[in-house]
A and B are shown apart, each in its own frame.
Chain A
Amino acid sequence: MNNTSVFAILIGGLLVNNFVLSQFLGICPFLGVSKKLNSAVGMSLAVICVMVMSTAVTYPLYMHVLVPNDLAYLQTIVFILIIAALVQLVEIILRRFIPPLYNALGIYLPLITTNCAVLGVTILNIDSGYTFGQSLVNAVGAGLGFLLAMVMFAGVRERLESAEIPESLKGLPITLVAASIVSVSFLGFQGLFGL
């Protein structure tokens, strides 16, 4: 997998192995913040940011600190620590420079800390044997995939608002049904580029 081209990795993260819709990572913000298009886009941008930053930090840390010291088994806990710190940093920066987005994201911003999509992308980068550059591209691809899923689903949910839904399916049930249908549509990308 080491020679996979940058383009293939990008498309892989974006469509074929879409984090939300194919790998079911990061479902919580996917359902939580996708009600309005604006906050969905804001949330996704924050996630992309955190994904790329955490990849940029965790990859060298893993390769140059953990592996030489035979501490690779600490991967999960170290990565969580790094991600949590980075999310806090993003939060501080957002509050300082983009208060409207900070207010719009609310509780979901700290929740990125435990967003498995972010942890997933950092761990999968290493498991797939990517180089540093490929890892960054994969992080961007995965983040863009998250953005794509969020934006698409925000559109679906805005349509759901005005749809006539059977009484017993109103609210979360119909949202989950819609999410599964959107997810099925992404199955169509399976096998593209042999990924």
Chain B
Amino acid sequence: MSPILLAVLLLAGLGLFAGLILAIASVLMAVPVDERVEAVREALPGANCGACGYSGCAGYANAMVNEDAPVGLCSPGGNEVAEATGKLLGKSGNVVRQTAVVRCGGCEEFTARKLDYHGIPSCRAATQFFGGNWLCNYGCLGYGDCAVACEYGAITIKDGLAHIDSTLCRGCTKCTAACPKKLIVMNDGNVRGVVRCSNRDKGAQTRKACKVGCIGCGKCQRTCEHDAIHVVNNVAVIDEEKCIGCGKCAEACPVKCIDIFN
């Protein structure tokens, strides 16, 4: 027999033999897949974004069926998915639609420049280079890593600042992971306002860096009648539970960095 034929036959034979053993093993040790898990997974959007807090759509489907996870966690899928999965499992639940908000208001006009970055136009790269263009080390860099990450086209960069269109945002949290400055936070329907600044430097320093940065003066804290806003680490933070959205803090704020949603 020619050596080539022998080699081919040997390899083919080995492959066939291995395949046969695997086929037998997979039949003998088949794991019964819960049909409900499969059906629920089909009903989910399949984006595997992880907004629900599980490892992906399959993980969430499994948790819903076997660990009694609530049905309303799929924010991108919205109420339709919650209904569909709820019907399959005999549960009901509504989605608390989350939207992303940017905790920075420092567009080019307001923020002081410390260097002129000409490297790779991405926030992640710019962060590595002395924290990017701006004197403020906490603010939005404006290269749009979040916009690239967003699959729904909800984020636009205007004047060096990311803007999120809350009608397009589906709450998948991909942008929160993409932002190297961790400026984007999720915000469920109950939140009435956001402080558009994340600068934890002392007031004087913040003032030098950005005209709309929170200087931690505490005026909002004193104005608030519901004890719902506090200065923590030199930046004001709204307490979602207590805030009623009256907007008095926004009026009182000397730098106007508080944004109250209607």
Contact = CB atoms under 8 A, between A and B. Distances in A.
Nearest to A106: B55
B262 interface: no
Interface string B1-13: 0010011001100
Nearest to A61: B14
B29 A85 contact: no
A69 interface: yes
A140 B105 CA distance: 59
A96 B31 contact: yes
Q: How large is the interface on A (under 10, 10 to 19, 20 to 34, 35 or more residues)?
A: 20 to 34
A43 B19 CA distance: 24
Interface stretch (A21-29, A87-95, A178-186): A87-95
Contacts of A85: 18-19, 21-22
Contacts, number: 47
A74 B7 contact: yes
B10 A74 contact: yes
A81 B15 contact: yes
Contact of A71 (B7, B26, B29): B7
B63 to A, nearest CB: 12
A88 B19 CA distance: 10
A131 to B, nearest CB: 23
Which bucket holds chain B's interface residue count? 10 to 19
A71 B6 contact: yes
Contacts of A70: 3
Interface of B: 3, 6-7, 10-11, 14-15, 18-19, 21-22, 25-26, 29-31, 127-128, 131
Given A81-B14, A167-B127, 11 more contacts: A66-B10, A74-B7, A74-B11, A78-B11, A85-B18, A92-B22, A92-B25, A93-B29, A95-B29, A99-B31, A167-B131
Q: Which 10 A-B pairs have the closest CB atoms?
A: A85-B18, A96-B29, A92-B25, A88-B22, A92-B29, A168-B128, A95-B31, A92-B26, A89-B25, A71-B7
24 contacts: A65-B10, A66-B10, A71-B6, A71-B7, A71-B10, A74-B10, A78-B14, A81-B14, A81-B15, A81-B18, A82-B14, A85-B18, A88-B22, A89-B21, A89-B22, A92-B25, A92-B29, A93-B25, A95-B29, A96-B31, A99-B31, A167-B127, A167-B128, A168-B128
